[in-house]
């Protein structure tokens, strides 16, 4: 019986070392980040999910991340603060969203290793942009490209009010809250967009009333593929050359 316990302990130790070695290998795999910025209802999550599915990318939606945290209620005070901010159309405090984001990125790296992450909805404010740029690049690289999903306020408000609500943590289905969310983006989100435009790393994609979803998606997919191919990260066929293989 004692020998059996020793053998089991040794097997557990070996498995632990293998898990750790795989984790370290994933952490060393090249990772590329693309930002999808835009106001509420501009199509960030819908288009991001399609891109991730079609191109085999990792997709990280800040909105879904926050709503998941509210549903889990790991910390009642934090959940309440997040819910109130979301219901009022305000920005969630950085001391709440940044740890959530870092954990989410770490989970993606653990499970997927290298590749391309589409981050939609962050950075939302200039303060968040600065905090993201202060992170070590081996934890979260600087964005290869930033896409602004350019949408007029009337269309954003209409879509926000009328989009399906699959869970009760959304509080944006009134015109008052939707208007507040659009105004908040114009006030605190557009300076972030303008920052990347001045850097020369921004591409605008029309997702407003003048473009259909298919037109917006085709333009986004084409522009992203061209950017990643030109940077040498993807093949001409759109395959991720740096995707980790395990």
Per-residue model confidence as pLDDT tens digits over 183-222:
999 999 999 999 999 999 999 999 999 999 999 999 999 9
Checking phi first, is residue 41 left (phi over 0); if not, alpha (psi -120 to 50) or beta?
Answer: left
pLDDT score recorded for residue 28: 55
Query: The tokens 């926000």 sit on which residue?
Result: 160
pLDDT score recorded for residue 196: 97
Euclidean distance between CA atoms 65 and 98, whole angstroms: 11
Q: Give the Å distances, CA to CA, from 179 to 44, 90, 154, 194, 213.
A: 18, 11, 9, 21, 22
pLDDT score recorded for residue 153: 95
pLDDT score recorded for residue 21: 47
Q: Mark the ranges of the chain whose per-residue pLDDT is less than 50.
A: 19-26, 166-169, 242-246
pLDDT score recorded for residue 62: 87
Q: What is the pTM of this model?
A: 0.79
Counting residues of the chain whose pLDDT is more than 70, the rounded percentage is: 77
Neighbour-count burial of 224, counting CB atoms closer than 10 A to its CB (0-12 exposed, 13-18 middle, 19+ buried): buried
């Amino acid at each position: 019986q004692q020998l059996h316990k020793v053998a089991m302990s040794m097997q557990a130790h070996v498995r632990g070392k293998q898990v750790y070695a795989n984790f370290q290998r994933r952490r060393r795999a090249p990772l590329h980040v693309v930002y999808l910025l835009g106001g509420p209802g501009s199509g960030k999550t819908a288009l991001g999910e399609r891109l991730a599915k079609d191109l085999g990318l990792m997709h990280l939606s800040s909105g879904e991340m926050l709503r998941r945290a509210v549903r889990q209620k790991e910390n009642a005070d934090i959940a309440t603060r997040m819910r109130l901010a979301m219901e009022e159309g305000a920005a969630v405090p950085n001391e709440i969203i940044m740890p959530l984001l870092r954990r989410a990125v770490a989970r993606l790296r653990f499970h997927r290793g290298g590749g391309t992450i589409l981050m939609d909805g962050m950075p939302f404010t200039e303060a968040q942009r600065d905090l993201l740029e202060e992170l070590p690049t081996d934890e979260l690289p600087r964005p290869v490209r930033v896409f602004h999903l350019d949408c007029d306020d009337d269309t954003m408000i209409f879509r926000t009010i009328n989009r399906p609500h699959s869970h009760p943590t959304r509080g944006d289905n009134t015109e008052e809250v939707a208007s507040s969310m659009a105004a908040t983006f114009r006030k605190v989100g557009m300076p972030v967009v303008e920052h990347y435009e001045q850097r020369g790393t921004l591409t605008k994609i029309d997702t407003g009333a003048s473009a259909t979803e298919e037109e917006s998606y085709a333009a986004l997919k084409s522009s992203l593929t061209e950017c990643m191919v030109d940077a040498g990260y993807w093949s001409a066929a759109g395959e991720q050359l740096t995707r980790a293989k395990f």
